[in-house]
Chains A and B, each alone.
Chain A
């Protein structure tokens, strides 16, 4: 048991048994594989149109794959004003970057002057 204890994160105070979870995962994978082999559909044919995604419309003329830059569009739109500030502050101009070093040091000096540091 002492050996097993080394693999258990006891000092977090939360049940976190990585080795046990991994064991359960392996068993689950084996069970699913066996179950799939025994009971899943057998009419699957890899070399037929059934494996291709179904897309309606004229597929010859449109590129139906959504570009990754379009993902999370809603999130970006909702935080538009936040991103306007953030993107403009990442200007690539080194002067902008270095001014934050000066500001950070100045804030720390103010904390010292105020007796907080």
Chain B
């Protein structure tokens, strides 16, 4: 049974999504119990893989359709012909946090999304979103990656446009769909170029056969740039604010992890597909690293300065998502820039690996605190019926738990100890300083502006006198919403207080799964 876990983690939510209309016939409560069980089951299955992969440093392979799931190459052939799922430290880390945010998103949605006859579709799309994220994080097959990227894009677009009774969400959903379609079309072009040369979609096989031709580099650009766009990197980030601000709050929290799944694709392709630590490497990793660093620095600065002048709380937070993506790109970009250098990996060992540690640590931190902040924004919009900060005031009198959750999220994103954002930012600042001190200074300045813009939200929405006349919803928060925010707070605090344990058991295995010159 345990050898089939890799496929079950994808198949269970996928089948549950299709079975859901039948379960709904039994009633709303059986449906909710069923979906909750599926989310919990996926989390438990993923957690059960942590000892093998993160502690004993194993890599799991699962060959779909083979007589034995571990038979990578069929008899008589020297190359894999079936779809292979490959789970290493990095893919497991990303999948675990995608599943946790998925569970939180469902809990929060329980009463947040009304039972208006369409909630069934909403829950189905949530499950498909989870399938898309975990699928593309697990697969070792390029075409399969494209398929899961499409599943993810379509379910995200439908969820963004879910509130069709309002004016803007359908536009935002359409925008997301068009951006995603174009990005995945370019990605498919890159996949086609690889297949034309090597006759296989298997990433490990292509990596072994890679001759670093001109066509390979063109394929690299066609695959990485669209994924960077889907991750929300500047200058291709403009769609982020338009779509994040119109989606329901729990969907926005999951959109953050969906964007990070695209970021996972950037790092996975840079290292696992095109990475090669041998001496005859011809792709200039220094330039590739600098491209990612420049994208990162622009994302950090433009994201935060645009956030500072927003009056719509969800747009403000969406621009912060762009800014935080910049930190991740900066950390991993420095790792890539010194990877396969002419110094035999000395710079990589001295600070490159640490920069990657910070970048990847920041990915999981961001999924938690950014998700939490979007959930608190959901409460603000629910209370005041608007996302306009000028029309909010005094929430701290009424919603003490939400206020505490917002403070935790805001301090974490600004990099204030003892919350998780501080741990990852400190590692990024320190390691990037060895590479280029100026980059570190920019990163610190951006942190200050981040704190300033969240002070603006705190001042606008939470401080001031209590104004009951402005409230459109004065009911107590449903337990699901409180539980969702509580889980996020807990993770932020734990990862901030015990960063060394997180790095040792989750981040280091993730880097080991990506980089070959350890």
Contacts and interface: CB of A to CB of B under 8 A. Distances in A.
Interface of A: 5-14, 16, 18-19, 21-22, 25, 65, 67-69, 71-72, 75-76, 79, 82-83, 86-87, 89-90, 92, 94, 96-98, 100-101, 103-105, 108-109, 111-112, 116-117
Nearest to B453: A72
Given A68-B311, A69-B389, A90-B241, A14 B426 contact: yes
Given A18-B423, A71-B456, A94 B302 contact: no
A117 B498 contact: no
Interface of B: 175, 178-179, 182-183, 186, 214, 217-218, 221-222, 225-226, 228-229, 235-236, 238-239, 241-242, 283-284, 287-288, 291, 302, 305-306, 308-309, 311, 354, 357, 389-390, 392-393, 417-418, 423, 426-427, 430, 452, 455-457, 459-461, 464-465, 496-501, 503-504
B430 A101 contact: no
B221 A18 contact: no
A82 B226 CA distance: 27
Contacts of A87: 309
Contact of A94 (B175, B393, B499): B175
Given A94-B178, A117-B288, A16 B390 contact: no
A101 B499 contact: no
A115 to B, nearest CB: 8
Contact of B306 (A7, A65, A67, A86): A86
A103 B308 CA distance: 27
A67 B327 CA distance: 31
Given A97-B238, A101-B183, A18 B497 contact: yes
B305 A86 contact: yes
A81 to B, nearest CB: 13
12 contacts: A9-B427, A11-B500, A12-B426, A21-B417, A71-B460, A82-B305, A97-B239, A101-B186, A101-B226, A105-B225, A111-B291, A117-B287
Given A105-B222, A111-B287, A116-B287, A8 B500 contact: yes
Contacts of B452: 72
Contacts of B178: 94, 98
A117 B284 contact: yes
B506 to A, nearest CB: 13
Contacts of A16: 417, 423, 426, 499
Contacts of B241: 90
A111 B225 CA distance: 14
B497 A22 contact: yes
Given A9-B503, A11-B503, A112 B225 contact: no
A100 B322 CA distance: 15
Contact of B390 (A67, A94, A105): A67
B427 A18 contact: no
A76 B309 contact: yes
Contacts of A25: 418
Contacts of A14: 426, 430
Nearest to B235: A100
A65 B464 contact: yes
B375 to A, nearest CB: 20
A9 B498 CA distance: 8
B287 A100 contact: no
Contact of A101 (B229, B306, B423): B229
Contacts of B214: 112
B462 to A, nearest CB: 10
B430 A13 contact: yes
A72 B221 contact: no
Contacts of A10: 500
Given A105-B225, A116-B287, A96 B460 contact: no
Contacts of B499: 9, 16, 18
A77 B239 CA distance: 26
Contact of B393 (A8, A65, A97): A65
Kindly list the 8 A-B residue pairs having the minimum CB-CB distance in the complex, ordered from nearest.
A68-B460, A108-B221, A68-B389, A67-B390, A100-B235, A69-B311, A97-B238, A18-B497
Given A108-B225, A111-B287, A9 B423 contact: yes
A100 B179 CA distance: 11
Contacts of B235: 100, 103-104
A75 B456 CA distance: 13
Contacts of B291: 108, 111, 117
Contacts of A105: 186, 221-222, 225
A19 B225 CA distance: 41
A98 B457 CA distance: 31
Contacts of B228: 104
A87 B508 CA distance: 40
A117 B393 CA distance: 52
A6 B504 contact: yes
A111 B286 CA distance: 12
A68 B459 contact: yes
Contacts of A13: 430
A30 to B, nearest CB: 17
Most B Cβ at <10 Å: residue of A67, A82, A96: A67
Contact of A86 (B186, B217, B302): B302
A87 B390 CA distance: 20
Given A71-B456, A97-B179, 12 more contacts: A6-B501, A8-B500, A16-B499, A18-B498, A18-B499, A68-B456, A71-B455, A72-B308, A98-B178, A98-B179, A100-B238, A101-B226
A97 to B, nearest CB: 5
A117 B284 CA distance: 5
